[in-house]
Amino acid sequence: MALCLLRKLPQLAARQHPGCLLPAMFCSTSSAGNDPDIVLSRRGCAGVIELNRPKALNALSLPMVRAMHPRLLDWEADPEVAVVLIKPAPGSGKAFCAGGDIRAIADDCVSARSAETGAGSGRAGGSLSRDFFREEYALNHAIGTYKKPYVAFIDGITMGGGVGLSVHGDYRVATERTVFAMPETNIGFFPDVGGGFFLPRLHAQIGVYLALTGHRLSGEDVKKCGIASHFVNSEQLAELEERLCGGEWLTKEDSFGTVSRLSELLQQFEACSSLDMRVPFSLNRHMADIERHFRHDTMPQVVASLSSDPSSWAAAQLETLRKMSPTSLRVTLRQLRLGMHLNLAGVLKMEYRISQRFMTNHDFVEGVRAALVERRQPVWRPASVEEVSDEAVDEYFAPLPPDRELQLDTKRV
């Protein structure tokens, strides 16, 4: 019997998706180099999105978001588009998408603080940090409420913003090259892009564990824990793409039949893969420990629970957590506890508030500089989870001024 650690990520209601074979229509964003950062095209009955920033591990930029979102809406309304496929461009390296372009955002925060104070110590983020997260989260919401099948080939590194481009869609296809993580607490941030929605809905406390520690999952584990819906060997993706775009799975039956046949096609490829569901999920042997220690509602409780455990595993988790931003840890744990009771739109609105507060604190810029620029251990302020007050955490969740709150299309459900 297949192992499934996902409680249940709500699936979109199936709808009819007529399709036809048409010549591809090419569109791309502008790029500083000769190649576009994102390629948008029609192939048969599919709208295809290719991420093409290999030197940046396909990191998601604001121009990429702005190219992708309107095209998704166009395809959704186009009766000749039956399915959307997002994938790394051929030859784009070892990543699906390694996250958002956080270095550009951190630089924007520094510039804004310098402009406001004249000394670089201000408390305001710049326009990029507002626009990027607002438009990225709106894109995540569009994916999560998309009315046609949305298939992501998460072939390679899939972290942060790359998770937001994939996990909210109907079908997430992992390969032996997939590496999944939400490592944001390590850079003084938090697992956004709807992390507050899907992570607490994973089995038991596995999502909390992944969010706080940044633990990486690879290959078959991404399927076995429920983040990926299917597993296909990477050398099979080209054929799978051809058959998706060719529309052999389309049917004149009702929408349930259409989606069922797409699921059957993906399952056929998975059945021919190297996936062995008899091999346990790699964290299975620690699931009882994860449940026992990460079920608490505050970080001091989590730390105390791990500290009372004499095992080497618990000691390793404590060592990992001590490297993370204490503020990020405390905010993240509350985010996940609240997110369990919100829909995707509610989570994204909450996360936008949190994101804007992180743009004004010390740890985000410090974490990005330490990890990506200076290659050193960050100096967090405050330095321990015990020093982060409940009142300080409250501020991250407080409403923004009405004109700065995240606005989502309420007609999308």
Q: What amino acid positions are annotated as catalytic residues?
A: 100, 161, 184, 192
Single-letter residue type at 9 = L
Cα separation, 386 vs 300, whole angstroms = 6
Identify whether the C-beta of residue 58 lies closer than 8 Å to the C-beta of residue 93.
yes
Residue 395 CB-half CA count within 13 A: 12
382 cis-preceded (ω within 30 degrees of 0) = yes
What are 357's two structure tokens? 């507060």
Identify whether the C-beta of residue 192 lies closer than 8 Å to the C-beta of residue 165.
no
Closest CA to 136 of 64, 30, 37: 64
> C-alpha distances in angstroms, 31 versus 20, 63, 135, 223, 297?
31, 9, 19, 34, 45
Ramachandran quadrant class, 60 (left: phi over 0; alpha: psi -120 to 50; beta: rest): beta
Cα separation, 147 vs 259, whole angstroms = 11
Q: What is the DSSP letter of 13?
A: P
Cα separation, 82 vs 261, whole angstroms = 13
Cα separation, 383 vs 364, whole angstroms = 14
Cα separation, 115 vs 108, whole angstroms = 11
Cα separation, 323 vs 308, whole angstroms = 19
DSSP 357-412: HHTTSHHHHHHHIIIIIS-S----SS-SGGGS-HHHHHHHHSPPPGGGS----TT-
DSSP 67-111: HHHHHHHHHHH-TT--EEEEEEPTT--SEEE--B-HHHHHHHHHH
